[in-house]
Chain A
């Protein structure tokens, strides 16, 4: 028997994003790509950026004229300025910044490498902090919103994942401080905390081939109270909710199928 479909994807205010302007970093794949796709589908203008031109260009080509691809590395000052300028021009201002770009660095404590630690904090945390700084005046003019991407790694401890987990915990704390600090400029700052979602970042974790990564992700399914891993679009939907929810700020929204609850088959 087919499951009864519960509610469509329309909820109060879902149409608010129509005609608005968003910048999604790391928009070439995974959750960033799904977010851009959903925003465009709802009628928004979206600028995506990423380091790999072919990836983001392919996404923009698929999503059409309302999506602009800018090849950029957001760890670089000049690239951030360029992306921001182009997003402002493409969307005629900015309503939301989705700091999605991020990378993976796993290492047991004995193998910590200082340069790689600095690099992962630069990629995952500092680039988003500085891009947010750049965007604040524009966002204040539009009662806009900033989104960060946290991680299930802050809810459950996975041995070997300390570097990545620490960067994501930093983003979650950053969300709450920035929310308190930017509230009087009417800028909302929120964070989604995805559970196991199959995207490229898992392959970059050094977990082996695409097949190995898929097998490992599937093995995580029973640890979710909903019994399955998530889809990038399910995280994108939560991001869209937070972009348009007018009184939610400083929120850490778990989108994890109950993985964070700690279900452990014993």
Chain B
């Protein structure tokens, strides 16, 4: 029996690596992404996948796409954006866009997925949070608040949907040299400083995140529910406060 997953924002960045990990673990994957070209290209490369060309912030489109996907074992709520800059400089559009994708998008997809899963005897949902949900760093705009909201949402989903047979957890990555934060680390000085601040003395890779997602998706994590798994090389509880974004 083939397991079926949907990965939001699966066309690029860490999302694409999660899609690769799931396909190689034997899943059929729905790549849900508004960047249709990237998603199509990945689906063509990998096989065992299909594209759901949807913007996560569009409630009706999400509901229709997920419902038509049919049987669903796993949802990875990965789609996320960030608008770097001081809070004082964040425009109304910056704030609405980030909340729209990160928070509303997560809610939209989870709601539709949970309805399917509840009717099908359960499933697994994994929400992508961030170390910014634990301790926000300056100049990440409204991003940190949306991730903290995802922490809370994960707990509420676990409480309400656990009885429906849906296991819900979050992954909170630290400094990952991939996806949305990869551009930050193109600067050698920033790269050296950030790597040096991580107790394990390196940036994280997409694979580090994928491994955590695959673990939480699997039956090896059958008793883990409502948890936010921090995957950060130890940075958030050690020296993040000394590493302001510049």
Contacts and interface: CB of A to CB of B under 8 A. Distances in A.
Contacts of B215: 11-12, 241, 245
Contacts of A102: none
Nearest to B222: A234
Interface string A214-236: 00000000001111001100110
B212 interface: yes
B30 interface: no
A76 interface: no
A37 interface: no
A229 B230 CA distance: 24
Contacts of B167: 226
A188 B217 contact: no
Interface stretch (A85-93, A129-137, A257-265): A257-265
Contacts of B236: 250
A181 to B, nearest CB: 8
A260 B226 contact: yes
Contacts of A241: 215, 220-221
Main secondary structure of the interface of A (DSSP, over half): loop
Contacts of A182: 199
B229 A251 contact: yes
Contacts of B231: 245, 247-248, 251
Interface string B225-236: 111011111101
Contact of B123 (A6, A181, A224): A6
A13 B239 CA distance: 28
Contacts of B163: 225, 227
Given A3-B122, A9-B219, A258-B159, A253 B229 contact: yes
A111 interface: no
A258 B158 contact: yes
Contacts of B210: 12
A183 interface: yes
A158 B212 CA distance: 31
Given A4-B73, A4-B121, A179-B234, A249 B199 contact: yes
B158 A251 contact: no
Interface string A36-49: 00000000000000
B223 A195 contact: yes
A247 to B, nearest CB: 4
B211 interface: yes
Contacts of A261: 155, 158-159, 226
A14 B220 CA distance: 10
A225 B123 contact: no
Given A225-B159, A245-B215, A247-B200, 9 more contacts: A6-B124, A12-B207, A179-B238, A183-B201, A247-B204, A247-B232, A248-B230, A249-B199, A263-B159
19 contacts: A4-B122, A7-B219, A9-B219, A12-B210, A179-B238, A180-B237, A186-B200, A186-B201, A226-B225, A235-B223, A247-B204, A248-B208, A248-B231, A248-B232, A253-B227, A256-B223, A256-B224, A258-B226, A261-B159
Interface of B: 1, 3, 21, 25, 73-74, 120-124, 155, 158-159, 162-163, 165, 167, 198-202, 204-205, 207-208, 210-212, 214-215, 217-227, 229-234, 236-239
